[in-house]
Chains A and B, each alone.
Chain A
Amino acid sequence: YAYFSGKPRWVNSTPMTLTYAFSPSDMIDYLSSSEIRMVFGRAFSRWASVIPVNFTETGNYLSADIRIGFYRGDHGDGEPFDGVLGVLAHAFSPENGRLHLDEAETWAVDFDTVKSKVAVDLESVATHEIGHVLGLAHTSVKEAVMYPSLSPRTKKVDLKIDDVEGVQALYGSNPNFKFSSLLESENSSNHA
């Protein structure tokens, strides 16, 4: 696992609660807001299950810690998106909180209903970008969520040991988290 220089992390109150909100104007219309909120809710819950941090959705976009939006091409942050596939999304290191997804992609919540060869799993990308928002950079471990690339029509949402060790080194461990459960799931997927 890797960090941004200086190992930036969120340092607000303890227990820590980070709020997140969706842009009121920069969203996609072919997925309902409830679907998008459900997907991001699951992605945030995955990280919350391993560190002592709560994530709470708020309707107040401007004051939220984490601000999520879908943008096309040059959207003013110096990192323009590039159309179908290529760069899918990006997020900024703590405590910036911006999480941007490329509107030009075909975002999918499940691949049963979306047949496009270039469909991209929204939950996988959301889980990855939340890792950046928390302070993780990219890893060289291919199975890990924080690996830089993701093929179309591929789902990768389960945090691996590399992801968990990295984020717990920043925030500590959720008292309800047991490494053994993670080891079991990794062993079973390795055997598979």
Chain B
Amino acid sequence: MLELRLVQGSLLKKVIEAIKDLVTDANFDCSATGLSLQAMDSSHVALVALLLRSEGFEHYRCDRNISMGMNLNNMSKMLKCAGNDDIITIKGDDGGDTITFMFESPNQDKISDFEMKLMDIDSEHLGIPEAEYHAIVKMPSSEFSRICKDLSSIGDTVVISVTKEGVKFTTRGDIGTANIVCRQNKTIDKPDEATIIEMNEPVSLTFALRYLNSFTKATSLSESVTISLSSDLPVVIEYKIADMGYIRFYLAPKIED
């Protein structure tokens, strides 16, 4: 038996919209800790890891660990039928082949339920080791999104370099080159607008802008984004989900051929 009641249903709507273009099908793993997901894109270049902790739900019942395979496009179709202020409850039975989404309007005058078919997904689960990163940049998520969008009109790849001067985003294309440097800016009264750079050593890595632009679909989930870089690891782009958990995107770098 599974019953998860999420008062801020819009969070789940936003999470699915943020990942559905990157990942088609995924297993949602439910345990006493919370609802989690790990899935790679079809080319095995990017990975999304989601955690919604049990404490973030108003009611959380998960009698035994369960993995539910869902098509994210179908899930999105159903969740789009929920209002932004609706309370969403996810219900499932052990061993069942369907899951039910129940939507309640804030004043309880409209209650809908949508039953979705589950699917068997044979997914590869990667072991992601805890790592020390060479540099961690925290910046406004809207700023990061703007930079990725702007640079993708000029080039296909971005070089992200962190030095003590700041974080530099560089691209190159047929029409020319672009450099955007963001310096550390600790705005004390507005922490969400701050850019904070923690650097153990300088690092410079190249990434496909197409994937970074896809990750920025999570921008509305969090005011700030954290970019963790190491020269020998995929970058981690993390959006915290208020009081509940996170959505993390991992992207393997490009190397000179």
Query: Are chains A and B native binding partners rather than an unrelated pairing?
Result: no
